[in-house]
Structure 1
């Protein structure tokens, strides 16, 4: 790669339609792109990094491309697969190898000199904790429904009585499968006091007052550009379970919401965020969460295309410079 045409590094798994949209836009602009999945290290990815008083240098090599560490224009950090050990490794040895890869190879990817990150992986990590999200959203002036995080079943039942109707939400979207490989996704769902029992003591759980909503809203923010979409047609509390029944309408973002989410992103050091709101019957936007690496490519083209362009602009022109 010549220094005059530094590439964009896209860090993601192969089956990522959202990354595909951005890569396609960059390719049309003739911007060099290198796609890399950290989960392929060390099987099909080799690192050769030299760090001295001038900073990091060297190369990363995939099966098809070689990337010079000091010449990366920007990094689009999407959804890489987890680090894995060699199949011959087991137990403590396998765990050791995975952690060495995470802190060695992953640490290098997070330290590319002069690169513009959308978003930086360590900023994503910080912003994925739901308690921190709730606390920061409240400080930013966004309307946060009453929320309880607990492993005390008595306290959870009391909350469900006082604030009902109440929904249960997972604290993290963790991969969860049955023995036959079927996905066992934990969805947002209604919960009654009678459904709460002593099994709650085994870990942390999040309960939240259910918003009496007229619709859902997904607000995708890229830099200073907001892309708000009203989502209608969901028959349940979690619209993600009913994609084929939904209607999408692009809507303006109220100034007070834009101010709040911009402060929110700045607090966590994020360039991109996918915010979920419930639109109350009174027109108020009730904040649910922000996914610092949320999906958006399932929207119709007239909604997806402007988001794609905004992300490509961020990656092609870091800091707004050509």
Structure 2
């Protein structure tokens, strides 16, 4: 085994995407510890951190591993379970335990002094705010669809009226939503001026000019390596019916590549999944960037390349 320290992977047990990278790390004989802190710390795993004036140390113990936290070379924050309430406690103690776990265990795992984070959880969270994404994208030179984020119905009606090519609505966050007890996804969809009611005033909503696109594009960035995929779909939101979309590798224009690298640097990210709408004129309009996006659904050659890029990042650890 390599003596450069272990890779700590934070994810749930059903995350099969992670296995693609873990197999590569195993082939390279890089030691890996996999942990789902929201669940494992309630079912036998233990986490300890000691802070002193002279030093800092810590230990993670699982059923099969004991890990010196000062020897973690990289942390991959993938898809860990939320810190949930222990079910054998009353309501007050359940809430207390869940919040203490989030702030305690979450704080320990985000504060390993020698580790290279892909991505750091605090940077992930900061980069998830769509207004911040749009502001950063503009500074990095991307083209943007005209956008309004407001809880003023009159502002929305005026915005839509001034968009002859139409407007779309998209949620600011993927909040779980149910209708009649059944889960419903809130997709990007076209919206008309006469659909806007005073209910908009309840909370901010985001509306954008519809881009007359030829196709969608996903650019997966891992460090300075970019992987572009063209997405052709019959739907405005290609995520709606993924079984109907077609994907193929596509070259990322130099101007877009420079913007991606600048965006990652500004938000202190190693990985980002960038979505663009591409017009017949070849203009790439920035839509959003998921700082922890899925990528294993892409063509096999692209998926393999991304997996190797992640393995390289995790193996190298922090820069000297």
| TM-score of Structure 1 vs Structure 2, range by shorter chain | over 0.9
Q: Which moved more, 1:113-122 or 1:185-194?
A: 185-194
Alpha-carbon displacement from aligned partner over 1:209-251 (angstroms, at most 9, x marks no partner): 110000000000111111011111x111100112212221212
RMSD of aligned residue pairs (Cα, Å): 1.8
Matched residue, 2:267 = 268
Provide the secondary structure at the position in 2 that maps to 1:4.
Answer: coil
Deviation readout 1:121-173 (Å, 9 max, x if unpaired)? 00001100000000010011100111111111121111111125111111112
Aligned with 2:162: secondary structure? helix
Distance, in Å, in 2 between the alignment partners of 1:161 and 1:179 is 33
In the other structure, the counterpart of 2:173 is 172
Partner of 1:295: 294
Q: Give the CA deviation at 1:176.
A: 3.3
1:178 and 1:92 mapped to 2: Cα distance? 29
In 1: Cα distance, 2:112 partner to 2:179 partner: 39
Instruction: Output the CA distance in 1 between the equivalents of 2:129 and 2:42.
Output: 31
Once structures 1 and 2 are overlaid, which stretch shifts more, 204-213 or 29-38? 29-38
Q: Distance in 2 between matches of 1:147 and 1:125?
A: 22
Alignment of 1:45-84 (within 5 A): 45-84=45-84
Indicate the residue corresponding to 2:244 in structure 1.
245
**Alpha-carbon distance in 1 for matches of 2:180, 2:30:** 43
Stretch deviating more after TM superposition (58-67 or 280-289) = 58-67
Residues 50/276 of structure 1: CA separation in 2 closer, same or farther (3 Å cut): same
For residues 286-313 of structure 1, give each alpha carbon's deviation from its aligned partner in whole angstroms, at most 9, with x where no partner exists.
0000000000001121110000001100
Q: Does 1:115 align with 2:115?
A: yes
- TM-score normalized by the length of structure 1: 0.94
Q: For 2:148, what is the secondary structure of its paired residue?
A: strand
Instruction: State the Cα distance separating 1:5 from its structure 2 match.
Output: 4.7
Name the residue aligned to 2:38: 39
How far does the alpha carbon of each residue in 1:246-282 deviate from its partner, in whole angstroms, 9 at most, with x for none? 2212122111111111111101000111000000111
Could you say if the C-alpha distance between residues 193 and 90 of structure 1 is closer, same or farther in structure 2, counting changes exceeding 3 Å? farther
Separation in 2, partners of 1:317, 1:245: 38
Please name the residue that 1:196 is paired with: 196
Task: State the shift of 1:47 in Å.
Answer: 1.3
TM-score normalized by structure 2?
0.94
> Which deviates more, 42-51 or 143-152?
42-51
Identify if the C-alpha distance between structure 1 residues 90 and 168 changes in structure 2 by more than 3 Å, giving closer, same or farther.
farther
Give the drift of 1:54: 3.8
Alpha-carbon distance, 1:71 to partner: 0.8
1:177 and 1:69, CA in 2 relative to 1: closer, same or farther beyond 3 A?
A: farther
